[in-house]
Amino acid sequence: MDEIDLQPLRITGSWNVEWNLFYEADPTEETMHYLDASSLLHLNNYSLMRAINLDFRPENDVNGHFYLRVINLTKIENPRTKKIDYDGDWENLYFELTSKSRIEIVKEIERLVREIPPFKG
């Protein structure tokens, strides 16, 4: 079987790819090993205070679906070290979409990275 490439995505410059395990693989018995990560894609944009996360649920289930979420971020400063970290509010999502269509998910990710407004938390 041929190797499957990572899914091409048009991501604007202000987005940071935290990890990318999102392949050009639609769910079939032969491709499920490409969809078995707990998170397929995670993008951060600290100037917008948003993150985009993509899962496939349930893992290893050919009848599953892609689950796309936009998470609001909050800046947290460690008072001792002055190190800045970011906390995601996974309970109060800005946006979520479930779909069985990889192409629909790709189009939505590409739309979100272009059009998502900043989080004013």
Rounded Cα distance, 113 and 29, in Å: 31
Share of the chain above pLDDT 90, in %: 88
Query: Quick one: residue 110, left, alpha or beta (phi over 0 = left, psi -120 to 50 = alpha)?
Result: alpha
pLDDT digits (tens, 9 = 90+) for 21-76: 999 999 999 999 999 888 999 999 999 999 999 999 998 899 999 999 999 999 99
The predicted model scores a pTM of 0.93
